[in-house]
Amino acid sequence: MRIGIVNDLRAACEALRRVVTSLPDHEVIWTANDGVEAIAMAKRDRPDLILMDLLMPHMDGAQATRQIMATAPCAILVVTATVSGNISLVYDAMGYGALDAVDTPMLGPAGEVTGAGALVEKIGTIAKLVGATVDPRRGRRAAQSSTPPRLLVVGASTGGPKAVSDLLLPLPHDWNVAVIVVQHVDVAFAPGLAKWLGDRTGRPVRIIEHGQQPAAGDVLVAGTNDHLVLTKGRALEYRQEPREVFFRPSVDVFFDSVAEHWPQTGIAALLTGMGRDGAKGLLKLRSRGWHTIAQDEASCVVFSMPKAAIDAGAACEVLGIDQMSRVISSRMPV
């Protein structure tokens, strides 16, 4: 992977550089001394991964993470002197899109690096998530296929958070699939929902940034009171229209945009919820060749949304959550 380091301490930068360069097919492409410099560097030469410190002059790592994810999104790992001692900023950074956090390795008096094990493990995990490789002949990112990742889209409302977590928990972690969740929830609670889902499922769950493109390994949650749509250019955007649709974000609006613009078929799941939102969108996805699943009545808190989809003939299968996870895994193997 091509990695950027953001840290204002020379010893910390050197320790991180030595860890990165000790790993096969990993390289440090730039080093920034603070958050402001990191944003500029990321825009100029976007890495596969940024190792982001928290406490720095001019701009802290949480705010730098927020701006990088908005302007040049990439994987970000918080690497700070003490995760437990900076837990508030750690949560801020993860709310803005950082994947995880780890303590900074130490550079000893003889030049040895200690405490690098956890960092090495997390870099390895993120490398699998982003699917990046390095061409060893050129030290640059190898050409990647323009084929988009496989897509799992999920809609839910009343009782949805637990249903979504139960659906995600058994799915593979090392998975070449992007998961996008539209849950009826107010913007004030969306970051907490993403964190809660991440804690329960043991995988990074992020709020969708306007203009973000889904990538393999992503688990993304709609995070505003506007509708989420997928554009022709495969970008996820928030829009106020259609104003007459009062469920926000609307599952129907999102599913419809996916049916129109995603270039390959995937799997769509409609989970527990009140009302009829999602039935029309699920039917459109089914008509375009997607495998569509509705949650069964026995496992729903409220059966209205899945029932509307079933009555409309939108569901290829009606399953409980446990069965749903197994079917998705078998249809989308690692």
Secondary structure of residue 193 in the 3-state scheme: helix
Residue 146 has pLDDT above 60, yes or no: no
Report the pLDDT value the prediction gives residue 130, as an integer from 0 to 100: 67
Residue 286 has φ and ψ, to the nearest 5°, of -60, -40
* Position 131 confidence tier, pLDDT thresholds 50, 70, 90: low
Residue with tokens 């009606």: 318
Report the pLDDT value the prediction gives residue 139, as an integer from 0 to 100: 33
Out of 27-31, 191-195, 199-203, give the one with best mean pLDDT.
Answer: 27-31
pLDDT in tens, 6-24: 999 999 999 999 999 999 8
Provide the 10 A C-beta neighbour count for residue 303: 19
- Pick the more confident residue, 65 or 189: 65
Report the pLDDT value the prediction gives residue 95, as an integer from 0 to 100: 81
Residue 111 has pLDDT above 80, yes or no: no
- Whether 180 and 205 have beta carbons less than 8 Å apart is answered as no
Question: Which two structure tokens, joined as six digits, stand for 233?
Answer: 């250019």
pTM for the model stands at 0.59
- 315 CB-side CA count, 13 A: 20
Q: Write down how long the chain is.
A: 334
The predicted model gives 290-311 an average pLDDT of: 96
**Which residue, among 228, 262, 268, 271, has the nearest Cα to 247 in the 3D structure?**
228
Report the pLDDT value the prediction gives residue 87, as an integer from 0 to 100: 86
Residue 40 has pLDDT above 70, yes or no: yes
Residue 136 has pLDDT above 50, yes or no: no
Measured CA to CA, the distance from residue 263 to residue 245 in angstroms comes to 26
Residue 227 has pLDDT above 50, yes or no: yes
- Whether 150 and 266 have beta carbons less than 8 Å apart is answered as yes
Residue 183 has φ and ψ, to the nearest 5°, of -120, 130
- Pick the more confident residue, 241 or 142: 241
**Which residue, among 16, 6, 261, has the nearest Cα to 151 in the 3D structure?**
261
Report the pLDDT value the prediction gives residue 134, as an integer from 0 to 100: 37
- Pick the more confident residue, 276 or 134: 276
Of the CATH numbers 3.40.50.180, 3.40.50.150, 3.40.50.11740, 3.30.559.10, which one belongs to the domain with range 150-331?
A: 3.40.50.180
The predicted model gives 295-324 an average pLDDT of: 96
Question: Which two structure tokens, joined as six digits, stand for 130?
Answer: 């982003």
Report the pLDDT value the prediction gives residue 135, as an integer from 0 to 100: 36
Secondary structure of residue 183 in the 3-state scheme: strand
The DSSP string of 267-313 is EEEE-S-SSSTTHHHHHHHHHTT-EEEEE-GGG-SS-HHHHHHHHTT
The predicted model gives 307-322 an average pLDDT of: 97
Q: Where in the chain is the domain with CATH 3.40.50.180?
A: 150-331
Report the pLDDT value the prediction gives residue 187, as an integer from 0 to 100: 84
Q: Where in the chain is the domain with CATH 3.40.50.2300?
A: 2-141
Report the pLDDT value the prediction gives residue 138, as an integer from 0 to 100: 32
The predicted model gives 35-50 an average pLDDT of: 93
CATH superfamily entry for domain 2-141: Response regulator (3.40.50.2300)
Report the pLDDT value the prediction gives residue 13, as an integer from 0 to 100: 93
| Residue-averaged pLDDT of the chain | 89
* Position 175 confidence tier, pLDDT thresholds 50, 70, 90: confident
Mean pLDDT lowest for which of 116-130, 193-207, 287-301? Answer: 116-130
Q: What is the CA radius of gyration of the chain?
A: 21
What does the angle CA 309 – CA 154 – CA 152 come to, to the nearest 5 degrees? Answer: 115
- Whether 156 and 163 have beta carbons less than 8 Å apart is answered as yes
Mean pLDDT lowest for which of 86-95, 132-141, 248-257? Answer: 132-141
Out of 102-116, 197-211, 271-285, give the one with best mean pLDDT.
Answer: 271-285
Residues taking part in catalysis:
157, 184, 277
